[in-house]
A and B are shown apart, each in its own frame.
Chain A
């Protein structure tokens, strides 16, 4: 990980050596890798995105919460302010708020697309390549762009998901096809459920560029992505994208396990490319920026002390219920897997 200090806004270096081969091969993918940056604590630092040769901001704007802003105007302001502060990583997903999150981001990035690293996710939930390619077109249309910087398989949360994704005609084929067609630059997957499932995905040896997972100060104590998955992804040169730094809905903070600042700082101090954080208002964005601008990572002993301190909150998993209960499973995904609706299940 590199923690280069933010500078002036990115200088766009079309065709510079940092561009990946695929980006060079396709001039439409004109996103510039970040030049080395120096100085200034008024910007969010940039980090290498795995082996891609691209840099992204160490803090990313979560797409779900962007769809919870009160109107397009607020979304516009939030995105503009984030860009100003040096955030270029924007998360999204085909099914967030029935498409509204993508629409909001697309509109907010009008005229600014080239400043942003846009990720969205595809929601096949075990269905095939055709469904994925159709969703890709819908995502591109809503995001008002001709390409994504990163396209990830959403919600890999069931033990048989790797079987389905890598079956002939499965979603893995769509990732490759979309890359070949120049519609996406990089590909990955995400999930919040179980380190063992993430590891099953990684051991397929598919050329994932990124993998997204919950990473927070409670995680190391309970069914841990930090101890089980992150090192394996790093070993493979796959960029790690952290999420749920405060427990997904702020549980870590609201129950007093850690302050928002400690929680975010811990997550950002891990060897990750970015930490995606949901921000549904300018106030939350500013709070995160206060920590992320001029970010200084925690020392290993500080991280260890925090893990120890929150252990009593962590060991029964009560603030990371997304790892254990069905309530955080998407209903469409359950339906596609022929699993009963989560309402019908015992708790």
Chain B
């Protein structure tokens, strides 16, 4: 795809802003685009106290040189996209906007409907990056690539100029990410959990990251604090160490959730004037976390059905067994995308 010239200029001007605000900018894969090394997560934005707080957080993030903004069609049933759309009014051109599509194996036509809804909520005519959300199950790669599958939507949306770049995300299994890559679909970006614990448990850092670099695909890290910060609360690592480790990996950006201004400020302190850890510091941290990483309790999203999405399970015809403790917690947790608004049949 030929990047739209004005959008490209937008990226260059945002690079200048970031340089002043001194969050480092990094190259987005093979593209002539740069994004901030710290990205604002869309799910936690929907956890903000109210819309006003969310808007203020986005404004402060932009003003402090953050250009990468994450979101997803199903976060908080659309609230995350709604709030971000409001917050980006007048600032859209300064940032690199990503959202995700939640077909969960379903058709390209559903994906295109979701794209229109996302664009409406985000109050924009295009996305910088559109990713397949939650690639979780062994048969997701084949559902994605099948005739009429979501891969066709990614291509079509690019052709229509509604999205500049495309990718996929998932938190479950490095093997499934590798299967997606083996389809040789021209992904521009791939998102995955990367943190100080990952290297010692079902590791994306060891298995997937090098393959992305080899292919020139932009690696997007997420869950630098393991999703909900349990490891930090329990003193296994400090927040600063955790974020520094994730940002020191060869990734384009590290997306992290910030549900209030304090967390935003804390992350900005690490990201502004960021100096990466030395290789030996990273090794020392991996060695230190090795014993506590061993049972995966800080990375349960890689193993537990609890972190599945009920909508995704139903779309795959996997049962929601309400006798199961994991399923009860899954449904309570609200980490789900109930269709919003209801998808027409």
**Interface pair B293/A159, CB less than 8 Å apart:** yes
Q: Give chain B residues whose Cβ lies under 8 Å from the Cβ of A346.
A: 300, 304, 306, 329
Docked Cα-Cα span, A147 to B266, in Å, equals 62
Quick check: A347 and B297 within 8 Å, CB to CB?
A: no
- In the complex the two chains form, is A326's CB within 8 Å of B326's CB? no
Residue numbers in B under 8 Å from A323 (CB-CB): 303
Within residues 136 to 180 of chain A, which ones have a CB less than 8 A from any CB in chain B?
A: 157-161, 163
Is B274 engaged at the interface, CB distance under 8 Å to the other chain? no
Report the interface size for chain A: residues with CB under 8 A from the other chain. 31
A222 & B138 in contact (Cβ 8 Å cutoff): yes
- CB within 8 Å: A-B pair count: 80
Kindly specify which of A104-112, A257-265, A287-295, A336-344 makes contact with the partner chain.
Answer: A336-344
Which B residues, 305 to 345, have Cβ-Cβ distances below 8 Å to chain A? 305-306, 308, 313, 316-319, 321, 324-326, 328-329
Chain A residue nearest to B303 in the complex (CB):
A324
CA distance A310 to B284 in the complex (A): 44
Q: Are B321 and A318 in contact (CB under 8 A)?
A: yes
The residue from A223, A311, A317 contacting B305, defined by CB atoms under 8 A apart: A317
The 0/1 profile, CB within 8 Å of A marked 1, for residues 157-184 of chain B is: 0000000000000000101000000000
- What are the residues of chain A within 8 A of B297 when measuring CB–CB? 326, 339-340, 345
- In the complex, besides A326-B295, A329-B295, A338-B291, 4 extra interface pairs with C-beta distance below 8 angstroms are A316-B136, A316-B138, A326-B297, A339-B297
User: Which one, A159, A223, A318, A338, contacts B318 given CB within 8 A?
Assistant: A318
Identify the A interface with B (CB < 8 A).
Answer: 157-161, 163, 194, 196, 221-223, 311-312, 314-318, 323-326, 329, 334, 337-340, 345-347
- Measured in the bound complex, the distance between the Cα atoms of B328 and A159 in whole Å is 28
A316 to B136, CA, bound (A): 8
Interface contact B201-A347, CB-CB below 8 Å: no
Complex contacts, B291 vs chain A, CB 8 Å = 160, 337-338
Contacts of B136 in A (CB 8 A): 316
Give every chain B residue within 8 A of A311 (Cβ-Cβ): 138-139
- Decide if the interface of chain A is mainly helix, strand, loop or mixed: loop
Q: Decide: A315 and B137 in contact? CB cutoff 8 A.
A: yes
- Does B294 belong to the interface (CB within 8 Å)? yes
Contacts of A312 in B (CB 8 A): 139, 317-318
Interface bin, chain B: 20 to 34
B77 within 8 A of A: no
Complex Cα distance A305/B138, Å? Answer: 17
Given contacts A324-B305, A326-B297, A337-B291, contact A347 B325 (CB under 8 A): yes
Chain B interface mostly helix, strand, loop or mixed? loop
**Complex contact B316–A316 (CB within 8 A):** yes
Contact of A160 among B139, B175, B294, B328 (CB under 8 A): B294
Bound Cα distance A158, B175 (Å)? 19
Are B305 and A318 in contact (CB-based, < 8 A)? yes
Nearest CB of B to A223, in Å: 7
Q: How far is the CB of A170 from chain B (nearest CB, A)?
A: 14
| B11 proximal to A (CB < 8 A) | no
Once the chains are docked, how many angstroms separate the CA of A334 from the CA of B296? 12
Kindly list chain B residues whose C-beta atoms are within 8 Å of the C-beta of A329: 295
Residue of A nearest to B138 (CB): A315
Could you list 11 examples of A-B contacts with CB < 8 Å?
A157-B295, A159-B201, A159-B295, A161-B294, A223-B173, A315-B137, A316-B308, A318-B319, A340-B297, A346-B300, A347-B329
- A160 and B201 CA atoms in complex are apart in Å by 9
Given contacts A160-B290, A347-B304, contact A315 B295 (CB under 8 A): no
